[in-house]
Amino acid sequence: MKIAIAQLNFHIGNFEGNVQKMLEAVATAKEQGADIICFSELSTCGYPPRDFLEFDDFIEQAEAAVEALAKAANGIAIAVGSPSRNPVPEGKDLFNSAFFLVDGKIQQVQHKTLLPTYDVFDEYRYFEPGTEHKIVEYKGKRIALTVCEDIWNIGNENPLYKVCPMDEMMPQKPDFIINLSASPFSYKQAESRIHVVQANIKRYGIPMFYINHAGAQTELIFDGGSIVMSPDGKLFDELPYFEEAVRTYELDAVQKGGVHKPQPKDKIALIHDAIVLGVKDYFGKLGFKKAILGLSGGIDSAVTAALAARALGPENVRLILMPSQFSSGHSVQDAQDLAENFGCPYDIIPVQRVYEAYMSELSPLFGDLPFNVTEENLQARIRGMYLMALSNKFGNILLNTSNKSEMAVGYGTLYGDMCGGLSVIGDVYKTDVFELARYINKDKEMIPVNSITKPPSAELRPDQKDSDSLPDYDILDEILLQYIEKRQGPKEIIEMGFDEKLVRRILRLVNINEFKRHQTAPVIRVSPKAFGMGRRMPIVGRYLS
């Protein structure tokens, strides 16, 4: 028997496009001699569909998509993920299901049992958990058909769940496992995914074909990396990251085993490729073509511009340089050099005259109050106004350039440098932004070295440096990592050796600036815990305030 994996990039709600893409993959799999082709979780409608699932018309289109695919299931079986209706009045209206299509009809449906409701997942909001676990019989083989999380409770050891679907299926003596998955990317997920598949193989001793999405859905990136694992627990094959692929495997060969070289898993390279895909799909799936962003000569806007140019093409990324009287000459030159290195169009719009006009109008109200963050924020908001005006006039989508360190502690100006339709590096700590810059420059200097080596500064007042009000980023980012990703409280972080006053100050800054993050653009998720849908904090909480 030959099994094909179709690792595809789906578009939420684009049923016609998704079905057409799958039909093309079916034709390819037939050419490769496949007996079964496997698509990923909820592939008819795209993942995650969220509240689209509450529309009856949406479910009707999903049902029609399954029917269209069933007609193509001649000479080949199709395993595909799609929502299905719950026929009984008790429980939720829908199941998250895997359909097995044969000879023009639905042979069997297996409902997902384990419904993740944590971090970015919210499946119990929509779906009823499956309770029956029956193997699929096809061409003399017995198949354990599972959906994503159903393989993540190995031996019923996951405290989130009370049943292990594979334990329920094993008495039926399946020959292999098919898992239809939608596993969002983080820089740690690829290794975790392989370990979970290996743990299943170790327990059950049969091959697994694990199929993942490859594409971006706003803030979520799906990195592909679909897996074929042999009964010896060794990787038979791992599909490429961040791209589509259709590959067919001979089951007997997979049974015999053998080690294929896994895909590289360098953290910074993965983050780079994930963000490029995230920007590309955000624009492509929304029908946008051109981006605009403010380029300061600093590291954050430089890295954002570089990633956008690689995602959209440099001719589609317009860079706006907006120097003030506080900008250093080398910052302007660094920004120009970067624009020319990438071949991006750019304009220079000084902000000093507009700033002075604002100050003239406001001075009777400000009186003798000293220069402070108000005047600094005013400069940022003037720049935001320029960028939004150009965005409106030319239809270019504004990209936000804030990094995760700044977003965490509130070092950004609402309606100023926090403007944008998409936050490109908002899940990348400052220390990793530097690493990204070096990675971008690995073959050729594209980002000026001075942008990487000079002390970070917002340049909103004379001789300003980030270090004037923040600890070194090596220290800041580690404290933030412990608090945000690892959910360690102040006591645990202080016990690691960090200064108590500093820890309490940083954590307080994180908490009191939640209101800002609620008003920012969607953040492309590359870490295990990003700002946005996977981190839900109260705005007015008193914890550590």
Catalytic site positions: 41, 112, 148
Sheet containing 141-147: order of strands: 136-138, 141-147, 176-180, 208-211, 227-229, 235-238
CA nearest to 238, candidates 209, 273, 205, 213? 209
In contact, 67 and 104? CB cutoff 8 Å: no
Quote the CA–CA distance of 150 and 98 in Å, as a whole number: 12
Which two tokens mark 286? 């929304």
3-state secondary structure of 320: strand
In contact, 70 and 105? CB cutoff 8 Å: yes
- In Å, what is the CA distance from 374 to each residue of 401, 418, 516? 21, 16, 16
In contact, 30 and 24? CB cutoff 8 Å: no
DSSP assignment of 394-422, as one string? HTPEEEE---HHHHHHT-S-TTTTT--SE
Which two tokens mark 262? 């896994």
Partners of 85 in the β-ladder = 94
Which two tokens mark 423? 């936050």
Partners of 94 in the β-ladder = 85, 127
Quote the CA–CA distance of 112 and 525 in Å, as a whole number: 25
